Amino acid sequence: MALLPYPKMDDLPGDVRRHFEQFASDHGRPSLLRWMLGWSPAASEAMEGLYHPIFTSGRLDRRLKELLFVAASEQRRCFYCMGGHSRFLVNEYGYARDDVKRMRRGEAIEDLDPREHALVLLTRRAAADDGEVTAEDIERVHAHGWDDDSIVEALSAVAQAFFTNTFAQATRLEDDIESSEGLDGYF
């Protein structure tokens, strides 16, 4: 159970409520993260400019950025973010669950291009509490053919993880989808 109650529709200011109602009509209810952020209209609006624009623009495709985000969230042990976005990789991109688990832990798998694996390792290092990215880390990624623009873009997934992991962990958000799979329900 979350440490704070989720706002009721009547608690939400008009613009946030309209957004939630539109989202609910298109996709079902908003994620629990979005729902909890509803207490702060400014934060709700900020999230609109944070997630989709970051994940759907730029040179790196969304699949890779989702993978980097999942790897960073695994490193930071945020079950809420790691679980929800791992499920997205399975449902939208056809990855096997075990492969997602291995990739997010930083393991190399057959379906993962070595260039992308290098970015996964960089994001995991940057996401660690004691992680200190060094010039050698950047050089290793350069050696795989990534330029500075792509690296800055990849690291946006780490920054995104710092934001949402912190909020989800501090409020103890439940898994977005109830599962009968016991402790692995978070995936």
Residues contributing to the site for other proteins (CB under 8 A): 3-5, 7, 36-37, 39-43, 45-46, 49-50, 53-54, 57-58, 77-78, 126-127, 131-135, 138, 148-149, 151-153, 155-156, 158-167, 169-172
Residue 10 vs residues 3, 17, 24, 35, 47: alpha-carbon distances, Å: 20, 8, 15, 13, 21
Nearest to 29 by CA among 9, 48, 43: 9
Q: Round to whole Å and give the CA distance between 56 and 133.
A: 25
Instruction: Supply the minimum distance, in Å, between the C-beta of residue 52 and other proteins.
Output: 9
64 versus 161: smaller Cβ distance to other proteins? 161
Instruction: Supply the minimum distance, in Å, between the C-beta of residue 119 and other proteins.
Output: 12
109 versus 131: smaller Cβ distance to other proteins? 131
Instruction: Supply the minimum distance, in Å, between the C-beta of residue 110 and other proteins.
Output: 28
5 versus 94: smaller Cβ distance to other proteins? 5
167 versus 187: smaller Cβ distance to other proteins? 167
Q: What is the DSSP letter of 11?
A: G
Instruction: Supply the minimum distance, in Å, between the C-beta of residue 75 and other proteins.
Output: 11
Torsion angle in degrees (nearest 10) through CA of 16, 86, 57, 114: 170
Given phi > 0 = left and psi -120 to 50 = alpha, else beta, which region is 55?
alpha
